[in-house]
Amino acid sequence: MSERYRLVFRGEVQEGQHPAVVRKKLGKALQLQGAQLDMLFSGKAVILKRDTDTPTAARYQALFKESGARLRILPTDPVPSVGAAGTGSGPGSDAGSGGEPAVLPLGSDVLRSDERPKVEAVQVATGHLTLADAGSDLGRGTGPADAPEDLTHLNFEVAEVGVEMDQRPRRPPPPPPDTAHLEIAPEDGTD
């Protein structure tokens, strides 16, 4: 029995790819634009092919990969049970009680929970953070350390307009290069 596949796209792009660039490349490769392309990149699972063979699935996967997109290729044949669990455990198997693939509601996750990457929640301490009043200057705090600096002890003057501020001595410019040994050749190339 030949392998049969279902091709599913959820608008995912490969790591390091910009979604707008991938969208443009994939639209050109599939000759899609406007509402069709919007639907493809809606973030919901879109089945491109319900039942296709291995060479066709491989061609689509190569095209999506070249465009920077991530295409999911899932088997359409029922996956045989494995081990003592008695459930289809192959990738994309949503086997019901009869071993047949279950039809998921529109917008459902295509991956089972055991196929998804495990992400541990990070606890960030936020107790020390406060909210500023609307319209307040976020560049300045409200504590005593942020009081205006007393500059009366500094001794400085304001220069007149147009005065050269850089008072460092300047080196004279270097002399022009000696060009006495150079001559201009005639246009005809003779000396």
Place of tokens 């089945």: 47
pLDDT of residue 78: 55
Which structural domain range is residue 45 located in? Answer: 1-77
Which helix H or strand E contains 19, and what residues bound it? Answer: helix 19-30
Residue that wins the pLDDT comparison between 104 and 14: 14
Residue 82 neighbours by CB distance under 10 Å: 12
pLDDT value of position 89 = 42
Would 142 be classed as within a structural domain?
no
What value does the mean pLDDT take over residues 161-184?
A: 86
pLDDT > 70: what percent of the chain?
76
Cα–Cα distance for residue pair 50/65, rounded to 1 Å: 20
What was the pLDDT predicted at 102? 62
Three-class secondary structure of residue 122 per DSSP: coil
CATH code of the domain covering residue 55:
3.30.1390.10
Q: Could you tell me which of 6, 32, 110, 7 has the C-alpha nearest to residue 23?
A: 32
Does residue 18 fall inside a structural domain? yes
Question: What pLDDT band is residue 139 in, cutting at 50, 70 and 90?
Answer: low
Q: Is residue 83 part of a domain?
A: no
Query: Does the structure show a pLDDT above 80 at 5?
Result: yes
For the segment 106-130, the average pLDDT, to the nearest whole number, is: 80
Whether 12 maps to a domain, the answer reads yes
- Residue whose entry in the numeric block shows the structure tokens 């001559």: 183
Q: How many domains does the chain have?
A: 1
Mean local confidence (pLDDT), 114-139: 81
Residue 106 vs residues 54, 103, 165: alpha-carbon distances, Å: 25, 9, 71
Is residue 109 over pLDDT 50? yes
Q: Please indicate, yes or no, if residue 151 is contained in any of the structural domains.
A: no
Mean pLDDT of the chain: 77
Mean pLDDT of 13-21: 88
User: What pLDDT was estimated at residue 83?
Assistant: 40
- Check if the beta carbon of residue 77 is closer than 8 Å to that of residue 6: no
Domain assignment present for residue 123? The answer is no
Instruction: Report the pLDDT averaged over residues 80-88.
Output: 41
Answer yes or no: is 125 within a domain: no
Least confident of 37-46, 52-61, 146-155, 164-173: 146-155
CA-based torsion, 80, 85, 91, 92: positive or negative: positive
Residue 57 CA to residue 51 CA, distance in Å, equals: 9
Q: Which tens digits make up the pLDDT trace of 48-74?
A: 888 888 888 889 999 999 989 888 888
With cut-offs at 50, 70 and 90, classify the pLDDT of residue 112.
confident
In a domain, 101, yes or no: no
pLDDT at residue 140 greater than cutoff 60: no
